[in-house]
Structures are given as structure tokens and as C-alpha cells.
Amino acid sequence: MSRAIQLKEEGNRHFQKGDYLGAESFYSQAIIQDPKNPALYTNRAMARLKLSLWDSVITDCQSVLALPSTASATSLPAVTAAVLQAKKARWEQREKRRVREDQDLERTMLRLLEAERAADVAAAADDESERQIVDEDARAREEQLRTVFERSRLLGGDGRREVPDWAIDDISFGFMVDPVVTKTGKSYERASIMEHLRRHPCDPLTREPLAAADLRPNMALRQACEEFLTDNGWAADW
């Protein structure tokens, strides 16, 4: 048994016990011994997923996708799922921080406006009519500020949530992470088309013979999908 396999199995034992940090360490040591084994990156990604190390999960998954397709084929479904889960979790984490920061800013701005209103009302204490006008004007500004922040929340969270057609895999109907293009120019998620070809070695559309060697990475589409998912993490559940 190779040293890499020994380290992997030790990592598996730690993972099963819930010691994800220990598992990550053993998987990392195994990768040093065998850097071209996709299963090692996949296992480490699973451990890092448990540790909420979202960026590291994505990096491991990208390492798997960068390996020759024949080596990584069996890992593709797990890798695709891990990428989507990590990107969604990372987006949710950033969203919570953004919402919290917006709420803090809103409270600060409202306190400043309230203090300004109190000072202006006090300055107009001798004129009841002017004091009322100043108070109403200040309250209107406060309400406008609340409206601005409320609109921002709606646009940032509950606005239109639609995934563009170009980002959807026509086999699994899921969001694409690692799109590849066929000879006819049609793109599919790599894991989906590889599974299709395993069962039916033909083009899903034309039914003409098609092999894994005929597939090419669609880097432009992959980048577009990554950018969309970075800004719209909810799309991972599409």
C-alpha cells in the first residue's frame, strides 16, 4: 500500500470520528505524496466543507477539475456539488456581513439626523410655527433615509432571482460549474455529459457518436458562471 493511500485512510478515520481538522491534515499530507490523485483533493474539500473553509473548498475542487478528465471523472459529481455548496455558503456569509453593516450605517445616520433635528427644534424654540416646520422637515428626511435603505435591502436580497438560460445545464437542469462544449457548440456541465456518455456514447442533441475526448472546456462560459454565482449565491440551489 502506498504512503498516500495510508495517509488517505487515516484521514478517512479522522473524518468518520468528526475530527475534520485532523482529516484535513492527513489528506494534505497524502496530496504531497500523490498530487495527481483527484480523490485526495475531493476528500480534503469535504473536510474543509465541514470546517467552513469555503475558499479552500473551491480551490481543492478547481484542482480536481484541472486534472486530466480520465483521472477525475469519478469525482466530478461530488466536486460539482461541493463547489456549489461552498459558493452558496460563502455568499450567505458575505450577505450577512453586508446586511449587518448596512443596518449599523442606517442606525448611525438616523441618530445623526435625530440629533440634528433636536438641535434645530431647540434653536427655533421661540417660534412655534417655525419649530413645527423644522420638526416636520427633519422627520421627512429621516423617513426618506429609511426608504433608501429599505430599497437597498430589497434589491440586495429579495429582488428578482432568475438564473440566465446560458448558465443552466440542459441535462441536469442545475447551475453549471465546469461547462464543456461539444463538437456542435452546445455546452453542458462536465459531470452531466460524462455520465450521459457513460450510458449513451452519443451527442444528446444530434444523437451522433460522441466521446469524452471530443469535449473541450468552455472557459468563457465558466468564468461567466463563476462571476454570476459570486454575486448571486442563491443560484447554487437552482
Q: Which residue has the higher pLDDT, 83 or 48?
A: 48
- CATH classification of 3-83, choosing from 1.10.357.10, 1.25.40.10, 1.20.120.520, 1.10.150.20? 1.25.40.10
Q: CA–CA distance from 147 to each of 40, 141, 143, 158, 163 (Å)?
A: 51, 10, 6, 15, 28
| 202, 209 contact by CB (below 8 A) | yes
Q: End-to-end alpha-carbon separation of the chain, Å?
A: 42
Strand (E) or helix (H) holding 106: helix 76-123
Q: Report residue 234's pLDDT band, with 50, 70 and 90 as the boundaries.
A: confident
- Whether the per-residue pLDDT at 186 is higher than 90: the answer is yes
The pLDDT tens digits of the residues spanning 198-212 come to: 888 999 888 899 999
| 132, 70 contact by CB (below 8 A) | no
- What average pLDDT does this structure show over 22-35? 94
Q: Do domains 3-83 and 165-237 have the same CATH topology?
A: no
Query: For the chain, which residues make up each domain, given as ranges?
Result: 3-83, 88-156, 165-237
Q: Report residue 15's pLDDT band, with 50, 70 and 90 as the boundaries.
A: very high
CATH code 3.30.40.10 for 165-237: yes
| Full DSSP string of 183-237 | TTS-EEEHHHHHHHHHH--B-TTT--B--GGG-EE-HHHHHHHHHHHHH-GGGGG
- What average pLDDT does this structure show over 9-37? 94
The pLDDT tens digits of the residues spanning 155-165 come to: 655 455 678 88
Q: Which residue has the higher pLDDT, 156 or 145?
A: 145
